[in-house]
Structure formats: structure tokens, C-alpha cells
Structure 1
């Protein structure tokens, strides 16, 4: 209890004014510097270069297609954060938290784009231990800032602590399957552990192949389920939106089982859960998109818009409106996280809703655990370099990664979220440091794409692809 209180106190402080100012301020600053091309302008271009080219392999050098890389990234974002995270935000911050989730998403599009550009710019290629282009925070810290010792410390911290954040996913799986089907949590954990391990053992190509099939399909099915609730309550939808906007700027009083929330609560939980959902500013975009085949880093950064739009503006909104329209957050005060969303679907669809959500949450959490593994594995790869030791260390790490997920599935959700918030805040601080110190290079590539490369392509010319990535054993960047 004391540890939980300490973690909660620290995360409450960080996700109060400091993180709100940092993330919103950075989003506004980057939006201005980019001419709002990722937020409001050029939406047609971004849609065409993301969802419009989902099944194209992509030009240039890389390990997987741009869409496959994006699906690996969205495995981290479209999942329990959309389901359990939104429920936690509304329970703790009221419906107004949803508005601040939207704000974090709209502004986070530019931040996520910067991460993707950094990942492409400072990526390397390992050819001895694995045939793969890669990057993570440690590679950027070394290749961009020259902080070799700090990069090693960061890599070790990431691969040691990263697996523990996945306990949030496991808790969501066990609670939802128990709620929906009465399945013993131990059985759920065993199946989860075995299937996750079998997938990550196949490396990036197997992970991305599975993710590009499962993630879009499950997102589509879940959105349909949420839209069904909206249609059943279509006359109440305008009032639900009104409640979201009103309580974003005015305190919401106690009603039924809901304890009430201040505007500060709405902002704090909306920004925090929004970030956990779309990962904008945490640096995960650096990792997932570094492997993508693309002819220019800025083209791949279109997924900075695509991911956040689908994740926060679409999927999170569907969850939030489902909770509000069914009144679940008021009528079931002792339930939180993904279990509350499950209850909301049961209210709307009866027992079928509970079964649907139990399956959806299990699959979403499964994909998130796998996506998170890939992120953590890159830290292992950095720490051991492009050597035979790296290959052996990766296999050992697979086992370590799965242990917290399997052994600590019954930790209280509050403790899991407090620890996740704290780690996310640390990742944000590091990522924002990268963005601000490397903004000159980011903007150079940005203007090169929009002012030179893209116009040349549109005029039928064939400009040389802009590709980065080392191929030698020491992983030195090719200029």
C-alpha cells in the first residue's frame, strides 16, 4: 500500500501540470512549425499514404512494409488503452476527460510524426545477428546526441522495466474473460503466455505478418460493435457529446455511483490515458517505424496522423460514448478498467455483449503484449550489438519478458496504472529531449520532402530515395 501511494503521488504530480504543459505545449509548437500539416491540413494526402496504401510493399530499403510497421505500432496503441484506459479516464476524470483525450490526440499527431522521422533518420541495420533495420531511444541517444553511456543505461532500463507495464494487459484479459465467460484467470494466463511466446519467437517478420492481419480486423469489428450502441441510443448521442464538452471545462458533481470530478481531474486523466492509448510522445513511434520500407522518412511519418486518428479520434470515442450512453460509469461504481467497458456492452447487447468484449479485449491485449515485446527487444539489440551474443540474449529475453505477464496477472489495476504512468512520463521526457535537440534535422527532412522530393515525384521525375541505416557491424550511421 505504501509503494502504491508513493507511485500514485509521483505519477499524479508528473501527470498534473508538468506533463500537460509539456505535451500540449510541444504539440502546439510542432503544429505551428509544421504548418499544421499533420493536424488539420493535408488530411487527404495522409489518408492516401496510409490507409489508401495499406497493401503496398513500399519503395526504398527496409525490413517490412510501411503498413506492417504501422500495424506493429498500432498493436501498442489500439488495444486495452482504448478500452480499459478510456474507462479509467472517465471513472477518475468524468466524461470531460474524453475531450482532453481528443486534444492530446490532435496535438499528438505532430509529435508522433517527429518520432517516426527520428526512427527512420537514426536507424541502423544489423546484418550479423539478424537481417533487420532497427532503431529505438538508445540508438537515437547515441547516433544523434553522442551519449554512448547514457544510451546503454537507457537500453538496460527499458528492457528490464518494459515487461512490467504489460501486466496491465494481462489484468485486463483475466478480468474480462472471467466477467464474460467465467474462465479461471490461471487458464487465461497460460494460454496467453504460450501463444504470445510462439509469436514473438518468430521475430519481426512473423510479428508484423500477424499484426497486419489481426489489428485492422479487430479494430473494424470493435468499431462496428460500438457503433451499434450509438445507433440504439441515437437520440441521446448529442446530449452525450454535450456532456463531454461541458464537463471538460466545469466540474462534474456526484451523480449515482460516480464520485464527481474536477476540471483538473478531467485534464490529468484525459491527457494521461490519451497518451497511453496513442503513445504520442513516448518514443514508441521511433521503434516501430524504423523498420519500414519507404522512399523518404517524412512519407512514413504520415502514419503519425493515421495511427492517432484511428486510435484516439475513432476507437477511443467509440468506447467513451458506449460508457456514457449506457450509463455504466454511474451505475457500476465498483468496476473499473476494461471490465467496465465489458459491462457497458452487456448492458447494450445482453450476454452477447459480454462475450464479444471478452474476446475483443483478450485479442487486443494479446497484440499489445506482442507489440510491446518488439519495442523492448530493440533495447536488448542495442545493448548487445550486432553480435552472436545478441542472438542468444534475445532468446533469453523472450522468457524474461513473458514472466511478469504470466506471474503477476492478479496485481491490483490501480498499482499497474500508477507504474505505467510513471514509466510513460520518463519516456516522454526522453523523447521530448530528442525532438527539441534534433528539431533542426527533423525540419530539414520535413521541408526536403514537401518542397523538393514530393513535387519532383508529382512531376513524374524519379528523385533518389532518402534512406538511412548502417550495414556494418559497428552500426555506424551512413550519411
Structure 2
């Protein structure tokens, strides 16, 4: 078994090595230039679209199962998870405060990638035998890139991540452990309740998942951000030095201190980029599966809406965690790591009310992890439908629920390693498709904004 673990770890190191990270970030950089840094100049428009109904869908039956806002919440339910609390702490512990800066850079360019993959998902989506929308990398790889082999590879990897990775074991363990530590509830009890809750929501399909996500995701994200804002206000005098340390550490080696072993610029960059990509999933191909379910008549409009997901996940939520860790000094505390480091940071940041800080982190971790399970259940379901048709969906759901039930009792390192491998492998066929279809992305984008300009000119002419 030890030998198998070593082989799997070597494969994981290779898959998540420099080539994939360069491909992920490089795709974002390429798209940013080709689309005229759309993530900067069109972000206000994207935020406007997020909170407003598409006028083209008001008076007609628009294709899609859920609203554009619900599709973003569903995607965010899968991305805002343990990575925003545990992953950020791990990245900064390994790469130093500078890792947070490189996390920002990965998110900045990742917004262009998220826009592109969501655009393609809506453009090439189809209606399945149950009348539900199906879309995502497997469809734009097959219908756009004309490559069924890569499409099937993506779907297989997607099911693997849903079953053995982000979708079940990692989240279930996080929830049961957090509840046991904070509230002394036995793991078995939490596991049973969690399984029942997952079954009740997921068996209802995308509409049920999106309704729960629409409620939990905004509420928990806002609560978590407000908690960190209070900490920043209470420690405002230390904020300039904190920001300066983050920026300095991004470009100069960080010396060893406390429980921190020291870091080079290369290690800070790798830690920040890999954790940023892992958190917001830009380029991995998961979010466009949710985007394809949106009620919209414009692939560009939905691409802009979906792009905001990376902004909220990393630029806002991950930043709040990272700044709090650096500001309180808990990023290099030798006595805590992972979720414990973030909890300690919130306690230190709220010295008069430490239990409130602990509660924010614990409750945030529980609900973020729960919604991640829901989001990945849907992603795996759509991958299953692509490979086996609608007849495979119920079988998939029952297996998924069974895996959630046994998740609290599994402590196999090999499973985590395999999960990381299939997660990384998902990105390869997706990125090949995005680059191969970049001409389609650019032309659709150009046409959309040209049409908007024509409409504005016509309105001005009529008004004169």
C-alpha cells in the first residue's frame, strides 16, 4: 500500500506541476489580451447583469432551468468551500504572505477563463430526454471542437471528482470534524443528519439544488465577509503594514519565522496560483456545467454573469481569510494550521468576543462545505447523463448519497491523492477546448457588444 501511495503522490505532483499551472494561468492571460481585458472593463456590466433579469427572457419562454443568478449561486456553492478557509491558510503557511498576492493574480486572469467557458457552455448546450438543459465542457468539446474522446475523458474525470474528491469525502470530513470539535456532536450523528439533508436536496434535481444555494451562498458569504470586515476595522492600524508585507513577500523571499520554514518567490507563486485555481476552479470546467442551466438567450451575457463567481470566490472571500491570517500573525503560528489557523486568527482579531470569531469560521466551514457537496452532485450528474443518458442519473445519485454516508469514516490518504489527480486531469481537455474555440469566443463577444452599440445609437436617434 505504501508503494501505491508513493506512486499516486508522484503522479499528483506531476499533474499539478508547473505545466498545468502554466497552462491554466497562461490560458487566462491569452484570453485577457484577446478579449481586451474584459474582466476589468466589463465587470460593472457583469455585476449589473447578475442582479437584473435579462429583458429578452421576460416576454418569452427562455431556454434554461434556473435564473442566471441561481446558476452563479450553484457554481459558487461548489467553489466556495473548505478551500476558502482551510486552503488559504495552507497556501500562506507554505508560501508565505506573498502567496495571497499570486492568488489574486490567478483569480484576475481566471475571470477571463471563467467567462470563456461559461460562454461556450451556453452556446453548445442541449436539452436532455427529461427536458433539462445539459451543457459544459463535454458538450462544447464534442460539438465545438469535434472531439468525442476528449469529451468523454472530461466526463469520466468529472464523475471521479464528484465521487471521490471535492464532492464528497473532503467536505464530509470537514463538516463532521468541525461539528464534533465545536459542538461535541458525535461523528455518527452528524454523518446521518448530513446524509439525509443531502438526499433531500439532491434528489430534487437542479431546481432544488439552486434554491438551497440561492439562500445559503449569499447569506453565508456576506456573513463571513462582514465578520472579517469587523476584524479589519478593529485592527485598522495594522492594515497598511499587512498589505505591505503581502506585496513585499510576493517579490522577495520570506525569512523563516515562528512555525514558518521560509519561502522563495517561486514557492509563494506556486502556492498562491495552485490554491487560487483550486478554490475558484477557473479553467477546471466545473462552473460552466451550472452556467448551461441558466435561463438566457445570450451566451455572452451569461459568460459575464458567471465571471463574477471568480471575483466573489477569490478576490473577496479568499482575500478576507488571507488578510485576517496575516494581520493577526496566525499564518506562521507553529501551534495551528488549516482550519485551526483561521479560527485562531478570528479569535485574535476579535479579542473581546473570541467565541464569535470561532462561530463565524465553524458555521461558515459547515455551510460552505455542505453547498460544495450539492454543487458537485449536480456536476457529476450532468457528466453521468452525457456518458450514459438519463437512465444513469438515479443510479449516480444513489451512489453519491452512499459515498456521503461513508465519508465521515474514511481516512485513506490514497483517496485524497486520487481526487487531486482527477481534479487536475479535468482541466486538460477543458483548456484544450477553450484555446481551440477561442476564435468562437472572440467573435461572439465582438458581435454582442457591437449589437449593444447599434441598439444605443438607435435609441439616441429615436429620442432626438
Cα distance in 1, alignment partners of residues 403 and 252 from structure 2: 40
Instruction: Tell me the residue number matched to 2:38.
Output: 37
Aligned 8 A contact 1:80 1:361 in 2: yes
Residues 344, 58 of structure 1: CA spacing in aligned structure 2 closer, same or farther, 3 A cutoff?
farther
> In structure 2, what is the Cα distance between the partners aligned to 1:313 and 1:258?
25
Asked if the contact 1:278–1:312 (Cα under 8 Å) also holds between the matched residues in 2, the reply is yes
Residues 201-247 of structure 1: per-residue CA shift (max 9 Å, x gap): 10011111111111111110010111111112111111111111111
Q: Does 1:21 align with 2:22?
A: yes
Report matched runs for 1:67-466 at 5 Å: 67-126=69-128, 128=129, 130-165=130-165, 166=167, 167-331=169-333, 333=334, 335-347=336-348, 348=350, 349-385=353-389, 390-391=390-391, 393-409=392-408, 418-452=417-451, 454-459=452-457
Shift of 1:382: 0.9
Q: 1:143 to 1:122 in 2, by over 3 A?
A: same
Q: CA deviation at 1:87?
A: 1.2
3-state SS, counterpart of residue 254 of structure 1: coil
After superposition, the Cα gap between the structure-2 partners of 1:156 and 1:11, relative to the gap in structure 1 and judged at 3 Å, is closer
Hey, what's the Cα distance between the residues in 1 that align with 2:238 and 2:298? 46
Q: Is the 8 A contact 1:122 1:135 kept in 2?
A: yes
Q: In the TM superposition, what is the alpha-carbon distance from 1:181 to its structure 2 partner?
A: 2.0
User: Any idea what the Cα deviations from partners look like across 1:336-381, whole Å, max 9, x if unmatched?
Assistant: 3333322322333422322232111111100010001100100111
- From the superposition, tell whether residues 135 and 66 of structure 1 become closer, same or farther in structure 2 (CA, over 3 Å): same
**Displacement after TM superposition at 1:156 (Å):** 3.5
| CA distance in 1 between partners of 2:378 and 2:149 (Å) | 23
- Alignment check: 8 A CA contact 1:159 1:380 kept: yes
Of 184-193 and 432-441, deviating more is 184-193
Q: Measure the CA separation in 1 of the matches of 2:215 and 2:208.
A: 11
Contact 1:84 1:338 in 2 (8 A): yes
Q: Once the 2 structures are TM-superposed, how far is the Cα of residue 116 of structure 1 from its aligned partner? A: 0.3
Q: 1:182/1:342 Cα in 2 relative to 1: closer, same or farther (>3 Å)?
A: farther
- Structure 1 unaligned runs (5+)? 462-479
Taking a change above 3 Å as real, the CA distance of residues 168 and 457 of structure 1, as seen in their structure-2 partners, is farther
Q: With structure 1 as the length reference, what TM-score do the two structures score?
A: 0.88
Q: What is the distance in 1 between the residues matched to 2:191 and 2:4?
A: 25
Partners of 1:76 and 1:368 within 8 A in 2: yes
Q: Decide which moves more: 177-186 or 203-212.
A: 177-186
Deviation at 1:11, TM superposition (A): 3.2
1:110–1:304 contact (8 Å) kept in structure 2: no
396-405 vs 225-234, greater mean Cα deviation: 396-405
Q: 1:223 to 1:49 in 2, by over 3 A?
A: same
CA distance in 2, matches of 1:79, 1:361: 7
> What displacement does 1:438 show?
1.1
1:318–1:33: structure 2 CA closer, same or farther, 3 Å change rule? Answer: same
Task: Provide, for residues 154-204 of structure 1, a one-character-per-residue CA deviation record: whole Å limited to 9, x for no partner.
Answer: 433432442211322122212322332233223222222211111001001
2:462 corresponding residue in structure 1: none
Aligned to 1:476: none
Q: CA deviation at 1:305?
A: 3.0
Secondary structure, counterpart of 2:65 in structure 1: coil
Q: What is the CA–CA distance in structure 1 between the aligned matches of 2:80 and 2:365, rounded to whole Å? A: 10
How many residues get paired? Answer: 450
The more displaced of 20-29 and 62-71 is 20-29
Residue pairs, 1:55-70, within 5 angstroms: 58=57, 60-70=62-72
Within 1, Cα distance between the matches of 2:340 and 2:195?
21
The TM-score normalised by the length of structure 2 is: 0.90
Name the CA distance, whole Å, in 1 between partners of 2:455 and 2:9.
51
**Mean CA deviation greater in 68-77 or 300-309:** 300-309
**Distance 1:7-1:458 versus aligned 2 partners, 3 A rule:** farther
Distance in 2 between residues matched to 1:228 and 1:58, nearest whole Å: 40
Mapped to 2, the partners of 1:267 and 1:61 lie a distance apart of 42
Separation in 1, partners of 2:53, 2:355:
35
Flag the structure with higher helix content: 2
